[in-house]
Amino acid sequence: MKKYHYETVAGIFVLVGLLGVGYLVVNLGDVRLFRKDSYTLSARFTSVSGLRMGNPVEMLGIEIGQVGGLEIDQKNQAAIVTLRIKKGINIFDDAMASIKTAGLIGDRYVSVDPGGAGEILKPGGVIAETESPVDIEELVKKYAFGEVKK
- Domain chopping of the chain, boundaries: 1-31, 38-135
pLDDT number for residue 6: 82
Q: What is the pTM of this model?
A: 0.69
Asked if 42 contacts 83 with a C-beta cutoff of 8 angstroms, the reply is: yes
> Which pLDDT does position 10 carry in this prediction?
86
Which residue has better confidence, 41 or 103?
41
DSSP 6: H
What is the distance between the terminal CA atoms of the chain, rounded to a whole angstrom? Answer: 89
* Phi and psi, residue 61, nearest 5°: 85, 5
pLDDT higher for 25 or 120? 120
- The residue-averaged pLDDT of 114-129 equals 87
Cβ distance 48 to 81 under 8 Å? Answer: yes
What is the rounded CA–CA span in Å between residue 9 and residue 16? 11
* CB 21 within 8 Å of CB 28: no
